[in-house]
Amino acid sequence: MILNAIYITAATLVTISILVTLYRVFKGPSMPDRVIALDVIGIQLISLTALFCIILNTTAFIEVMLLLAILAFIGTVAFAKYIEKGVVIEHDRDR
C-alpha cells in the first residue's frame, strides 16, 4: 500500500519534470540545449513507462520502453547531424 503511494508520487514527479523540461525545449537559448532537453524528455518517458510497469505489475510495456529508447537515440543522432551539417539527409550523389 505504501509502496504504491511512493510509485504514484514518483510518477507524478517525473511528469512534472517532463513539463519543466518542455520549457527548455521551447525557450532554450540554443539548438544544442533544445536537443539535450529532447533527449532528457526521452529518458524521462522511459522512466515513466517503467514506473507504470511497476504500478500495474505487468511487463507489457517493456517493448514500449525499448521503442522509446530507439526513437530517442535516432532523434539525437539526427539533430546532431543537423547541427553539424545543416541537413539531415544529403541528396547529392557521386556520379
> In this predicted structure, what is the pLDDT of residue 17?
97
Q: What is the pTM of this model?
A: 0.82
Exposed e or buried b per residue across 53-80, where buried means at least 16 C-beta atoms within 10 angstroms of its C-beta: beeeeeeebeeebeebeeebeeeeeebe
At 93 the pLDDT is 65
- Phi-psi bin for 35: left (phi > 0), alpha (psi -120 to 50), beta? alpha
pLDDT in tens, the chain (95 residues): 899 999 999 999 999 999 999 999 999 898 888 889 999 999 999 999 999 999 999 999 999 999 999 999 998 888 888 888 777 777 776 65
